Amino acid sequence: MRKLNALFCLGSVVFCIAGCKPEADRIRDDEAAAAAVPAQEPQMQNQVAKAGVGVQGNSLDSIQGNDPRMLIAGPVKTFFQVKERIVFDIQLKQMEQTFNAINGRNPKSHEEYMKEVVGQIKLPKLPDGMVYRYHPEANELWVEAETAK
Protein backbone atom coordinates (compact mmCIF):
# COMPACT_ATOMS: atom_id res chain seq x y z
CA MET A 1 0.00 0.00 0.00
CA ARG A 2 2.87 2.38 0.81
CA LYS A 3 4.42 1.68 -2.57
CA LEU A 4 1.13 2.53 -4.24
CA ASN A 5 0.83 5.83 -2.31
CA ALA A 6 4.45 6.74 -3.08
CA LEU A 7 3.95 5.91 -6.75
CA PHE A 8 0.76 7.98 -6.86
CA CYS A 9 2.50 10.96 -5.22
CA LEU A 10 5.48 10.67 -7.58
CA GLY A 11 3.15 10.48 -10.60
CA SER A 12 1.23 13.54 -9.40
CA VAL A 13 4.43 15.56 -8.96
CA VAL A 14 5.74 14.56 -12.42
CA PHE A 15 2.37 15.34 -14.02
CA CYS A 16 2.20 18.73 -12.32
CA ILE A 17 5.75 19.69 -13.29
CA ALA A 18 5.28 18.56 -16.88
CA GLY A 19 1.92 20.33 -17.24
CA CYS A 20 2.62 23.57 -15.38
CA LYS A 21 3.97 26.70 -17.02
CA PRO A 22 5.98 29.35 -15.25
CA GLU A 23 3.97 32.42 -14.26
CA ALA A 24 5.70 34.64 -16.84
CA ASP A 25 4.76 32.24 -19.66
CA ARG A 26 1.12 32.15 -18.58
CA ILE A 27 0.93 35.95 -18.42
CA ARG A 28 2.54 36.24 -21.87
CA ASP A 29 0.06 33.69 -23.29
CA ASP A 30 -2.91 35.56 -21.76
CA GLU A 31 -1.70 38.89 -23.17
CA ALA A 32 -1.18 37.35 -26.62
CA ALA A 33 -4.69 35.88 -26.59
CA ALA A 34 -6.19 39.23 -25.54
CA ALA A 35 -4.27 41.06 -28.29
CA ALA A 36 -5.39 38.56 -30.93
CA VAL A 37 -9.07 39.32 -30.32
CA PRO A 38 -9.85 42.97 -31.05
CA ALA A 39 -12.13 44.54 -28.45
CA GLN A 40 -15.15 45.79 -30.36
CA GLU A 41 -18.26 47.08 -28.74
CA PRO A 42 -21.36 45.72 -30.42
CA GLN A 43 -23.39 48.35 -32.27
CA MET A 44 -26.55 49.23 -30.37
CA GLN A 45 -29.84 48.43 -32.11
CA ASN A 46 -32.39 51.14 -32.85
CA GLN A 47 -34.82 51.26 -29.94
CA VAL A 48 -37.19 53.46 -27.97
CA ALA A 49 -35.23 55.73 -25.64
CA LYS A 50 -35.39 54.24 -22.15
CA ALA A 51 -33.17 53.54 -19.16
CA GLY A 52 -30.10 51.58 -20.22
CA VAL A 53 -29.36 53.32 -23.52
CA GLY A 54 -26.73 55.66 -22.05
CA VAL A 55 -23.03 54.85 -21.87
CA GLN A 56 -22.55 55.59 -18.18
CA GLY A 57 -22.20 52.38 -16.21
CA ASN A 58 -21.90 50.11 -19.27
CA SER A 59 -18.27 49.33 -18.49
CA LEU A 60 -19.47 47.70 -15.28
CA ASP A 61 -21.56 45.09 -17.11
CA SER A 62 -18.60 42.71 -17.29
CA ILE A 63 -18.46 42.50 -13.48
CA GLN A 64 -20.87 39.80 -12.33
CA GLY A 65 -21.44 36.98 -9.92
CA ASN A 66 -19.28 36.63 -6.80
CA ASP A 67 -16.61 39.07 -7.98
CA PRO A 68 -15.73 41.24 -4.96
CA ARG A 69 -15.85 44.32 -7.19
CA MET A 70 -19.62 43.75 -7.39
CA LEU A 71 -19.89 45.35 -3.93
CA ILE A 72 -19.21 48.68 -5.63
CA ALA A 73 -20.24 47.96 -9.24
CA GLY A 74 -23.78 46.85 -8.33
CA PRO A 75 -24.84 50.06 -6.58
CA VAL A 76 -23.06 52.23 -9.17
CA LYS A 77 -24.87 50.47 -12.05
CA THR A 78 -28.16 50.92 -10.20
CA PHE A 79 -27.40 54.62 -9.65
CA PHE A 80 -26.91 55.22 -13.39
CA GLN A 81 -30.04 53.22 -14.27
CA VAL A 82 -32.13 55.25 -11.80
CA LYS A 83 -30.77 58.52 -13.22
CA GLU A 84 -31.82 57.44 -16.72
CA ARG A 85 -35.25 56.29 -15.54
CA ILE A 86 -35.82 59.69 -13.93
CA VAL A 87 -35.03 61.40 -17.24
CA PHE A 88 -37.09 59.11 -19.50
CA ASP A 89 -39.95 58.02 -17.23
CA ILE A 90 -40.51 61.18 -15.20
CA GLN A 91 -38.99 64.34 -16.68
CA LEU A 92 -39.71 63.71 -20.36
CA LYS A 93 -43.19 62.29 -19.69
CA GLN A 94 -44.07 65.32 -17.58
CA MET A 95 -42.78 67.73 -20.25
CA GLU A 96 -44.69 65.83 -22.99
CA GLN A 97 -47.89 66.11 -20.96
CA THR A 98 -47.29 69.81 -20.33
CA PHE A 99 -46.65 70.46 -24.03
CA ASN A 100 -49.83 68.56 -24.95
CA ALA A 101 -51.90 70.44 -22.35
CA ILE A 102 -50.67 73.86 -23.53
CA ASN A 103 -50.83 73.19 -27.30
CA GLY A 104 -53.57 70.56 -27.49
CA ARG A 105 -51.32 68.32 -29.61
CA ASN A 106 -48.04 66.41 -29.66
CA PRO A 107 -44.90 67.96 -31.18
CA LYS A 108 -44.99 67.85 -35.00
CA SER A 109 -41.26 67.43 -35.64
CA HIS A 110 -37.97 66.36 -34.11
CA GLU A 111 -36.83 69.99 -33.89
CA GLU A 112 -39.99 71.07 -32.06
CA TYR A 113 -39.71 68.12 -29.65
CA MET A 114 -36.07 68.84 -28.84
CA LYS A 115 -36.74 72.55 -28.32
CA GLU A 116 -40.08 72.48 -26.51
CA VAL A 117 -40.08 69.15 -24.66
CA VAL A 118 -36.46 68.27 -24.05
CA GLY A 119 -35.42 71.91 -23.57
CA GLN A 120 -33.15 72.01 -20.53
CA ILE A 121 -33.37 68.28 -19.71
CA LYS A 122 -29.95 66.65 -19.97
CA LEU A 123 -30.41 63.42 -21.92
CA PRO A 124 -27.98 60.56 -21.17
CA LYS A 125 -24.87 60.40 -23.36
CA LEU A 126 -25.21 57.76 -26.07
CA PRO A 127 -22.59 55.40 -27.52
CA ASP A 128 -20.64 56.75 -30.49
CA GLY A 129 -22.63 56.66 -33.71
CA MET A 130 -26.03 56.80 -31.99
CA VAL A 131 -28.40 59.80 -31.78
CA TYR A 132 -31.79 60.69 -30.34
CA ARG A 133 -34.62 61.00 -32.90
CA TYR A 134 -38.22 61.92 -32.23
CA HIS A 135 -40.89 60.08 -34.26
CA PRO A 136 -43.96 62.37 -34.37
CA GLU A 137 -46.29 59.71 -35.84
CA ALA A 138 -45.75 57.51 -32.76
CA ASN A 139 -44.96 60.35 -30.32
CA GLU A 140 -41.81 58.48 -29.21
CA LEU A 141 -38.17 59.40 -28.71
CA TRP A 142 -35.86 56.79 -30.22
CA VAL A 143 -32.16 56.01 -30.10
CA GLU A 144 -30.97 55.29 -33.63
CA ALA A 145 -27.79 54.91 -35.63
CA GLU A 146 -26.58 58.31 -36.79
CA THR A 147 -26.83 57.26 -40.45
CA ALA A 148 -30.44 56.00 -40.18
CA LYS A 149 -33.13 58.24 -41.62
Query: For 95-118, what is each residue's pLDDT tens digit?
Result: 999 999 999 999 999 999 999 999
CA count, 13 A, side-chain hemisphere, 19: 6
Contact criterion met (CB below 8 Å) for 124 and 44: no
What is the distance of C-alpha 123 from the center of its chain?
A: 16
H or E segment to which residue 117 belongs: none
Read off the pLDDT band of 134 (50, 70, 90). Answer: very high
Query: For 54-101, what is each residue's pLDDT tens digit?
Result: 888 777 877 878 888 888 888 888 899 999 999 999 999 999 999 999
Q: Where are the alpha helices (DSSP H) in 37-88?
A: 70-85
Listed by start position, the domains of the chain span 44-149
Determine the Cα–Cα distance for residues 111 and 49; give it in Å rounded to an integer. Answer: 17
Question: What is the three-class DSSP state of 40?
Answer: coil
Strands (E), 7-129: 47-48
Residue 16: φ, ψ to 5°: -65, -45
Stated pTM of the model:
0.64
DSSP 109-146: SHHHIIIIIITT--PPPPPTTEEEEEETTTTEEEEEET
